[in-house]
Amino acid sequence: MTDHHIGMIVPSSNLTMETELPRMMREREDVVPEDRFVFHSSRMRMRHVTPEQLRAMNAQTGRAALELADARPDVVATACLVAIMAQGPGYHCTAEDEITGVLRAEGSQAPVISSAGALLDGIKALGAGRVAIVTPYLKPLTQLVADYIEDAGVEVVDALSLEVPDNLAVARLDPADLRDHWKRLDLSRADALVLSACVQMPSLPSIQPVEDAAGLPVLSAATATAYRVLVELGLPTVVPGAGSLLGGRVPGPAGG
């Protein structure tokens, strides 16, 4: 057996990333028992999803990355999608480069991914040129997310904002409700559905049921992050019951 060490940089109020990503990897261990996964987290202070608190949280990235470097992870994922997308198109590259610089200065060679970049990669890997999205954010932040995705060359054909500003309240949302929420979207032109464009909004139990009901690929920021983690580790992208992206048939991104 091989232990793969995954470092995560998460908002202090995020309860979901450290739930859904390990859960996916445990499901994977049931079918690929030779790979095991160990998780190490560093936190950045943020309670409310506002532009001010998102900027303040981003300023803590260097410190959080420095703490993770000491654990010598095999891959590092920074997991607050909107904090990155709110800074403007392409900012995930800047954030990933900042973390990479800190790790390299400490002698760590771990590849770095972001949930924002992973979502774009997941959409691209599915061959989707048009998506619909569900977010927990207020409408102005959802628009920033849509603009970010569209800047990457993917049309957002419809978006649903659940408008929950308190980050802890987002974590308490019932993922089963998404099995009804998606029906409020116009999917007539969509190639894929992003059921949760947020790593804090729980969605994993609904990914496969909604995909089966909608008849098109369904992903989330969390499943896309799991996909990129597996790609960077050089492992088959297989997680049972987590949608087409993790069905083992989607190729890794170019250079991944």
Q: Which residues are catalytic?
A: 80, 198
> For residues 131 and 126, what is the distance between their CA atoms, to the nearest angstrom?
11
Find out whether 40 and 71 touch, Cβ atoms under 8 Å: yes
> For residues 115 and 120, what is the distance between their CA atoms, to the nearest angstrom?
9
What is the DSSP pairing of strand 130-135 with strand 155-161?
parallel
Q: What is the largest CA-CA distance in the chain?
A: 49
> For residues 72 and 121, what is the distance between their CA atoms, to the nearest angstrom?
25
Give the dihedral of Cα atoms 35, 109, 117, 65; nearest 10 deg.
100
Three-state secondary structure of 212-238: HHHCCCEEEHHHHHHHHHHHHCCCCCE
Find out whether 243 and 224 touch, Cβ atoms under 8 Å: no
Q: Which amino acid is at 31?
A: V
By C-alpha distance, which of 80, 4, 3, 81 is closest to 42? Answer: 80
Extended strands (E) in the chain: 2-11, 35-44, 75-78, 112-114, 130-135, 155-161, 192-196, 218-220
